[in-house]
A and B are shown apart, each in its own frame.
Chain A
Amino acid sequence: MPVTGMPASEAQGELLVPPRMDAGATRAGRLRRAIRPWTHKPLAVAGGAIVLAIVGVAVFADLIAPYAVDTVNPIDRLQGPSLRHLMGTDSLGRDSFSLVVHGARTSIYVGFGAVAISTAGALIIGVVGGYYGGWLDTVAQRLVDMWMSFPWLVIILTIAAIAGPGLTTVTLLLGFAYTFPNSRVVRAATLATKQNLYVDAAKVIGAGDVRIMLFHILPNITAPVIILATLGLGNAILAEASLSFLGLGVTPPDVSWGTMLSGGSRQYFFRSPWLAFWPGLALSLAVFGFNMLGDGLRDVLDPRLRSR
């Protein structure tokens, strides 16, 4: 009888050894087993490295950026790439490299903020709705249907324009927007988890609904939630940049990769094409990193897909 959670082939020949003593239970063994699925996923590991790098840049932006981004320096405007200004300077004479570095901070802030909000919202709607069911769940899911049939960008643009754009508005709006589609996934996972015998067992020994949801269902739906959050980070970063590009996202003095590609700076792109290149590259790289990591996580965490 294979030990639960271990492939049958691995357990062969260890039938008489209690599970506690097998190689997978020592610290090194556990580590090896945790790493093993990743050794065949160089792309996911690369994605993880990109993500770590971007988060690092965002956290230490003030230390990494060689110049301040809130000072205008007209004498140095529109310089080409040089040793002093690695990525050149923009139309106000600000160092492009420093701007790109600070852009990472905005992206990470909006990304993590929006994902935190949408994950919390989705967990509440999805777990509670999926666990209890009933008419409230039905109504919630119809509303989710309705929301998902709207083009999100148009709605968010409308609200951002009326409520006034800015870092907080964008983060809240994106968090709100992703709550609904995410709740669908959380709900499906909850419905599947609810069927398990251990949920019935918990009920039988008298555990309350809240206890079951928190300690029996929640820990068992972490895999889809982690995948959602990772892919959501990439999407939120892309969405923030798109909104900022349209002038309805982040407002100055906050620096955004989207803003750097839009508005008044566009007229200088023909003269100084590098201004159009670097922010977009940083943005694409960040989104690519999160997408790769999310894809890899899905393969590793979702055992049904592992063979593929």
Chain B
Amino acid sequence: MKKLYRIARALVLLALLSPLGLAWLPPDRLPLRLEPAFQAVLQSSFRQLSITLAATLALAALLTVVLGYASVLWQRFGRTGASILKAVESVPAILVALFCYAPVSGYLARHSSGASQTVSLLVFILAATLTLLPEAVRGVAIPLGDLYHRKYSLSFRSYGFTKRRILAVLMGSHVMRGTLKRIAAGILLKTLVLDCSFGFIIQLGFGSYGTPAHASPGALIAANRDALFEGGTPALFWLPSLLLVAISTSFLLTLGEREEAAA
């Protein structure tokens, strides 16, 4: 029964995440037939979203694990890092993203759309990672520090294990793997929200030809906001919105997963 539930749950998650995969299929292989121009933009925006999510997750998760581990290993590093991350956290995420674009705004305006889009994506990933890190690092450092200081350090240090090795073992423990899974879901959810709101704002502020070029589904929704009015095709607005809701739900389901209490 439990196994069946797990399989059903995995299938639901896969179905909810499928827009990110379907975006990479050739247009003629898609199960849905849409107006070709809209379908191309829709697919392109979800392709960019999947790249953004994957790249941000890779970078943020790597930094989170390294910084979380290091901040427990070296307490002074942990304290200094926590102060810096707290300062970053005090700035709203969307402003951090806009500030990050300031140094490269000239480059983005001068170069072709391809180069501009790549740099824009890199800057966005950096900005998103920066805004996600404080909570993610805390999410690793607090349970890891708790496991080490309150539970495992006394016996294991007395056997002669180094702190580094004990922490490495604890990082791979069931509890920490569950924690990391939830942190990854949190990173993805926040990146998605930031990406779409950023795309939405850029589209509203600069239009399709503005810089930075940020073709996320948020920009697509903003571009088609008129479709809700009389004479428009509401599907142009609702379809990307619903797909985003589906993807967010899958992250929320993972985030809300609770481990069974230990015996």
Is B a genuine binding partner of A? no
